[in-house]
Structures are given as structure tokens and as C-alpha cells.
Amino acid sequence: MLTRPERCWTLTEDDILALEIGAAILGTGGGGNPYIGKLRARQALRDGHKLRVVSLQALPDDAKVVSLGGIGAPLVSFERIKEGREGLRCVRALEERLGFKADAIACEEIGGQNAMEPLIVASLAGIPVVDCDGMGRAFPEMQMSTYSIYGHRSTPSVMCDPHGNVVIFDHAISEKWHERMARACVIAQGGASTLASAPMSGAFLKRFAVPNSYTRAVALGRAVMEARRNHADPIAAICEMEQGKLIHTGKIVDLKRHLRGGFVTGEAIIEGFDAYQGETGSVLIQNENLVFKRDGQVEVVVPDLIIILDIDGGEAITTEMLRYGQRVAVLAVPCHPLLRTSEALEVIGPRGFGFDDIVYRPFGADVVRNQRAGDE
């Protein structure tokens, strides 16, 4: 059982509001629409459930922790309301299949609605969520987590849909094959489901999880809220919090977006204005924002974060909510070091997404061009 409750904290409705903002930013356009997740998390609180977060340090090495998240296209998860207990059914079916009791839930990705889903499921199960995740952002495929990259085998796993169907993946020969089978299943289930993976130990998470994910997301959301209250620039607040940079501002003048193979894919074309007048930015999408180009030249690429924000209010815009005519700002934020190792880049670097002609260069002065003289 988990110990040291003084190293746990319980989320309030104000925390949920901040988490909605922070998780949307860290989601890099994906992870599911956080507004829906916020409503469901707030309802769980009002129904008397506790949304508890436990620090990695407080987690016993032998704790059994189940990672959980939504799978499918963000567009579907936005348009089709969840039944509400899909995740709990996943956890209970996994416990029955493997004969164990989960001590905690781990977030698969801190981005978007997938930051909320583990909290909701854990509250229904009466256990906490660990203050970590497997991506430090959002990625479109399950094997693109630090859990899988550094050796965890996700099967047996369980997928549940809103209709009550429960599917068990008993064994996959690789994490990529697990993703392929799960993706085929989620298409059959309507395009959006919930999946829980085989338990990890507390010791494994302490080594290979991205730490302090909920703390980070809530703090980021609070920084944005504070900037708005003080009539300050929320985009500047995000950059300061995340060591990021504003790399483009403009209007979306073309948007190509398709639902293919369980993913939202496409490209947003952004005609620059203000300091970027006369320049054309483009963002390639696969559920999340993957590559930013300026006038056809690559500047920022996964695993670093590319974030599209409403230029006036600083709200993150998820890929399914992008629209022609929106005035946006594009930020670049460095990813966690666990995502920059050679093992990680094989999976979540440009080649992992089929961009064989793009070489990953870590976000920094050599990637993002120097700040313009007018901004100095």
C-alpha cells in the first residue's frame, strides 16, 4: 500500500481550471480536448470523489502502477461524449486478468484530456495518480512513451469503449505491434476509447517517467491565469515558465485535416504578420503538432514541443479546433532530456514519424532564429 500521505495532495476545482490550461499547452495540439476533461473532473469532485496526486518520491519501489489514457482521434473524443466509467472498467478487468490490485494510476501523457482521465479513473477507484507521465507532452502513438522506450511491456492491456465492450490484448510481440492492434480495435469501437496497460513498479517509474507532470501543468496554468488577471502577456508567461520562445505569429490561411487510420493528420498554413510579415509558417500534424517550417525550411521538430495559441488570450488550440482565419502564435519549447536520448529519438524523433529527410536538432539558439531587432 502507498505510504507517506503528507507527500500527496488533493486537487481543488481551482487546480482543475489551471490544469485545463496547462495540459492544453503541453498537449502540443493533441491529447484530447481538455475542456471536456475539465467538466468530467469537476463533476467527479462534486460527486464527492477525491482527485489525489502522489509524488514519485513517495511511491514505494514495489508499488503496482497502471498507466492509462485515451486512444483514438481527438476529433472523435471531442464530438462523442464518454460514458464515464470506461477507464475504471479497464483497470478492474486488468486486475482480474493478472490477479493484482493497483496501488496508483500513472498518466500516459500530460497533454490535453489525457491529463484528466487518469485523475477521474483513480478517483473512482479510490487510489491516487502519480505526479509523472510518459511523454512530458502528447504523442499520437502508444509506444511513444518513456515507459515503452525504456523497456516496459504494455501487454496484457485492456481497452474499453462507451458501449461496454472490453477487449484484452494478451500479448504483443513488440510495443509497435501493440499500437497497431489497439489502433485497429479503436477504429472498430468508433474512433475513441480508453486503454490501461500492464502494471509498472514504483522503482521503474522513478527511473523512466517524466517527473512532476501535474505539478508542472498546474503551475503553468496558474501562471497564465495570473498574467490575465494582471493584464500581462500570457504568451510571455508561458515562455518564461517553459524556457520557450515565440517563433511565429500569423493568420491561418489554409488548413488540411483528415481522419485517417485513427489519427487526425494534416497541415496548417500560417501567413505571418507583425514581426513575421511576409513569411509563411506551416505546422505538420498527426494528432499533435510535429514539425514547424518557415518558408519551407524546418525550424522545430518533435520531440520538442510546438504549441499553437490564440494570439489574444493565449489559449492553446487543439488540432481539431484549428480554423481558417484564426490569429495565432506559435511557440517552441524544449522537451524533457529523457526524450532526447538515442533510444528515444529512434521512436519519437523525426524518423519515428516518417520524416527520414529531417535531422533532429535540439531546440535552442541554433534551431530558432535570433530574436528580431524590434523585439530586443
- At 132-166, the pLDDT tens digits run 999 999 998 999 999 999 999 999 999 999 999 99
Q: What is the pLDDT of residue 30?
A: 86
Work out whether strand 305-310 and strand 327-333 pair parallel, antiparallel, or are unpaired: antiparallel
- Compute φ and ψ for 357, nearest 5 degrees: -95, 5
Work out whether strand 104-107 and strand 129-133 pair parallel, antiparallel, or are unpaired: parallel
Cα–Cα distance, 301 to 311 (Å, whole number)? 21
Segment among 13-17, 31-35, 68-72, 192-196 with least mean pLDDT? 31-35
Q: How far is CA 190 from CA 67, 329, 332, in A?
A: 22, 33, 33
Q: What is the pLDDT of residue 322?
A: 93
Same topology, domains 5-213 and 235-365? Answer is no
Nearest to 212 by CA among 123, 131, 138, 286: 131
Question: Which among 159-173, 184-198, 308-322 has the top mean pLDDT?
Answer: 159-173
Cα–Cα distance, 94 to 19 (Å, whole number)? 28
pTM for this structure? 0.90
Predicted confidence band at 364 (pLDDT cuts at 50, 70, 90)?
Answer: low
Fold (topology level) of 5-213: CV3147-like fold (3.40.1610)
Q: What is the pLDDT of residue 83?
A: 76
Cα–Cα distance, 200 to 100 (Å, whole number)? 12
* H or E stretch covering 264: strand 263-272
Domain map of the chain by residue range?
Answer: 5-213, 235-365
* Predicted confidence (pLDDT) at residue 261 exceeds the cutoff of 90: no
Q: What percent of the chain has pLDDT over 70?
A: 93
Predicted confidence band at 76 (pLDDT cuts at 50, 70, 90)?
Answer: low
* Residue 114 DSSP symbol: G
Amino acid in position 146: T
Q: What is the pLDDT of residue 9?
A: 93
Domain 235-365 has CATH 2.90.10.10: no
Query: What is the rounded average pLDDT of the residues 187-212?
Result: 94
Round the average pLDDT of the chain to a whole number and report it: 91
